[in-house]
Amino acid sequence: MRVIVIGSYSEADRARFREAAAPADLHFADRIDSVVDMLGETDGVVGSVPGELLERAPKLRWVHSPAAGVNKDLSPQMLASDVVLTSSAGNGGIPLAEHAMMLMLMLDRSALRWIEAQRRHEWDRFTHGELNGKTVGIVGLGNAGSDLALKAKAFHMRVLGLRRRTNLPVEHVDRLYGRDELAEFLPECDFVVVTAPQTPGTAGMFDRAAFAAMKPSAYFICISRGGIADDDALLEALRNGEIAGAGLDAHGVEPLPPESPFWDLPNVIVTPHNGATTDGTARRGRDIVAENLRRFVRGEPLMNIVDKTAGY
């Protein structure tokens, strides 16, 4: 059995992966295009495999994405194949939830005003908000969304959730809404936080009608993937006062172009898709790789199998 591991890993990580995958032949490469000739005899790949290369890998049974989101891995060829796709979902849930809390606190307390005052050396005291007693609506209740619910409860917030499946309760969530209840969900929220993956079902779900349904005092926060909000609709809502502001770590176009109006809006905080860039995220991702290598070689059920139809 041969497994190719794509990416830059330390010698300690490589030794750990070899141990987990023993007795399989484990081959390391920095880029997939450097091992194309090996794909014909390869059973598994840790890393992304472009769709046009799948036909070069007739023995391939498993691909593991080192990322939590698998949008770029779901090529038409992958969707049509029997290859099992797994992801590193869960590796960044904790820091993403922390990032969402940071953005909620900064927006609610007008923290940018303090930052500007500090630059001017001005003592600018003002009455600001507090999260206590406010309602956060979480769109998507995977790892990041579930951890955010726990953290929001620690701030004494009311927590609502919106997800595709509503038949199972979620801990720390006061009420669940289905995707078809978005219009009822949004007016309840002081903060709307998107932690859902971008899929055919979520792409563009925040359109003009969605932002019009939010409170004028509410904030929109996106920490998962751009494209879930229509950028033109979001800009219009921010400029017209339909919503109070936004915290954006995920953007429709990345990197966010220098000429994007989002940079200069006074009620927007922009971060560069950086919320989960932590040592802990990388460590948890390596843990998932090692465990799935062990399981694959032994024929055991894999972690984080992606539903290709659903997109996550």
In this structure, the answer to whether residues 233 and 187 fall within a common structural domain is yes
In this structure, the answer to whether residues 59 and 107 fall within a common structural domain is no
218 vs 198: which has the higher pLDDT: 218
- Catalytic entry in 121, 128, 251, 273: 273
Number of domains in the chain: 2
In this structure, the answer to whether residues 167 and 202 fall within a common structural domain is yes
| 265 assigned to some structural domain | yes
In this structure, the answer to whether residues 49 and 161 fall within a common structural domain is no
Provide the domain limits for residue 201. Answer: 93-270
| 73 assigned to some structural domain | yes
In this structure, the answer to whether residues 227 and 146 fall within a common structural domain is yes
Average pLDDT over residues 246-253: 97
pLDDT at 160: 98
Q: Could you give the CA distance from residue 42 to residue 46 in angstroms, rounded to a whole number?
A: 11
71 vs 272: which has the higher pLDDT: 272
> Poorest-confidence range of 26-35, 195-204, 210-219, 297-306?
195-204
Q: Which tens digit of pLDDT belongs to each residue from 146-166?
A: 999 999 999 999 999 999 888
Residue 273 annotated to the active site: yes
Which of 195, 155, 147 is CA-nearest to residue 171? 147
Q: Could you give the CA distance from residue 137 to residue 200 in angstroms, rounded to a whole number?
A: 21
Q: With contact defined as beta carbons under 8 Å apart, do 87 and 64 qualify? A: yes
In this structure, the answer to whether residues 159 and 226 fall within a common structural domain is yes
In this structure, the answer to whether residues 237 and 260 fall within a common structural domain is yes
Q: Is 239 exposed, middle or buried (0-12, 13-18, 19+ CB in 10 A)?
A: exposed
| 308 assigned to some structural domain | no
Q: Where are the alpha helices (DSSP H) in 127-207?
A: 143-154, 182-185
Q: Which tens digit of pLDDT belongs to each residue from 55-97?
A: 999 999 999 999 998 988 999 999 999 999 999 999 999 999 9
Mean pLDDT of the chain: 96
Instruction: Provide the CATH number for the domain around residue 126.
Output: 3.40.50.720
pLDDT at 167: 82
| 191 assigned to some structural domain | yes
In this structure, the answer to whether residues 163 and 283 fall within a common structural domain is no
In this structure, the answer to whether residues 138 and 255 fall within a common structural domain is yes
| 311 assigned to some structural domain | no
| 82 assigned to some structural domain | yes
In this structure, the answer to whether residues 72 and 220 fall within a common structural domain is no
pLDDT at 20: 98
Would you place residue 204 in the very low, low, confident or very high pLDDT band (cuts 50, 70, 90)?
very high
| 255 assigned to some structural domain | yes
In this structure, the answer to whether residues 190 and 57 fall within a common structural domain is no
In this structure, the answer to whether residues 174 and 186 fall within a common structural domain is yes
CA 260 to chain centre: 22
pLDDT at 165: 83
Size (the chain), residues: 312
Q: Rg of the chain's alpha carbons, rounded to an integer?
A: 21
| 68 assigned to some structural domain | yes
